[in-house]
Amino acid sequence: MNVFEFSIIITLQNNIFSGLFVGQNLLTLKEVDSTNNFLKNLLSNSKPLPEGTVIMAEEQFAGRGQQNNQWYSESGKNLTFSLLLNPSFLAITEQFDLNRVVSLGVFDALQPLLGDQLKIKWPNDIYYADKKLGGILIENLLQGAQIKNSVIGIGLNVNQENFPDGAGNATSVWQILQKNYDLLALLADICSHIEAWYLNLKAGKVDFIRNSYLKRLYWLNERGDFKADGIIFTGIIKNVKSNGLLVMHRDNEEVTYNLKEIEFLNK
C-alpha cells in the first residue's frame, strides 16, 4: 500500500497553529496503522520534512504505547498524532529531557481544563486522578552519536464516552467534564505548548525543565504500591534522575528503576 493512500492534506484558513514551526505542516489521515510508522516511512522515503511536521489520524488501528502496549481509540473521537522534532543539539545521554518536554507540553495544554488532579505518570503518561488520559511514545532515530530525528507519538482520549474492557483504567476529557472539545483546537494548543518547552530545552534551561516535570509527577512523595521482580511492595517516589531512571524510597533505602523494571499498581 502506498503510504499516501487514504491521506488528506488540510490547508488551514486562518491557521490556528500559532507557533513558529510545530504544527505548521499538518497532514491528516483517515486511517493508518500507526502515525509513528507513517512518519518514519515519510522520513525514509521522501525529501526532508520540516521540523514540527504533524501527522494526525482520525483512526489508528495499530497504535502502540510503551512496551508495545496497544492503544485503544474510537475513530474520530480522540487525538492520535505524531510530531517530528530534530533535537540534534541534545546528547543521547540526555534524551529523557525530550520526554519531559513533550509531557510538560501536553500537561500545560490540559491543565487549565482539568485542574489539579492532572499529573504526569513516569515516564510520560498523562493521568487524571488514578486514570490514564493519554500516552506518549518517543522513537529517536540516531546518526552516529547524535539524535537525527525524534518521532513523537501522542494519544489523548478526548471525546470518547466509553472504553472496552481491555482498555484498563482509561478515561477521557469527556468522561471528566461531560463535554466535547474541538480536536483541532486542542491539537493546536498542545503543539504550541510543546514548542515552548522544546525551545526552553534548546536554550539550555535544563534545570527548569527537570524541576517542572518533577513537580507535576504522579505519586511524587506519596506511598504507592508497585511490582518489581515479581514482588509487590510499597514505595515512595522521590526523584527522577537526569537519564530518566525513577528514584524510589523502598525498605529504608534508595532504589532506582528503569522503564521495564517496575509496574505501578494503581488504585
249-267 tens-digit pLDDT: 999 999 999 988 999 998 6
- pLDDT band with cut points at 50, 70 and 90 for residue 15: low
- Residue range(s) in the chain whose domain bears CATH number 2.30.30: 223-264
User: 123: which residues sit within 8 A by CB, 6+ positions away?
Assistant: 66, 96, 99, 103, 244, 246, 259
- Cell digits of residue 208: 527548569
Instruction: Compute the average pLDDT of residues 100-126.
Output: 97
Q: Is the pLDDT of residue 37 over 60?
A: yes
Q: How far apart are CA 200 and CA 101, in angstroms?
A: 9
Q: Is the pLDDT of residue 8 over 70?
A: no
Q: How many CA atoms lie within 13 A of 216 on its CB side?
A: 28
Q: Provide the β-strand partners of residue 137.
A: 153
Q: How far apart are CA 267 and CA 253, in angstroms?
A: 24
Counting DSSP H helices and E strands in the chain, the numbers are 5, 13
Amino acid 73: pLDDT? 66
Query: Letter for the amino acid at 6?
Result: F
Amino acid 7: pLDDT? 43
Amino acid 237: pLDDT? 98
Pick the CATH number of 7-215 from 3.40.50.720, 3.30.230.10, 3.30.930.10, 1.20.120.140: 3.30.930.10
CATH topology of domain 223-264: SH3 type barrels. (2.30.30)
CB 192 within 8 A of CB 18: yes
Residues in the chain: 267
Q: What is the DSSP string of 181-201?
A: --HHHHHHHHHHHHHHHHHHH
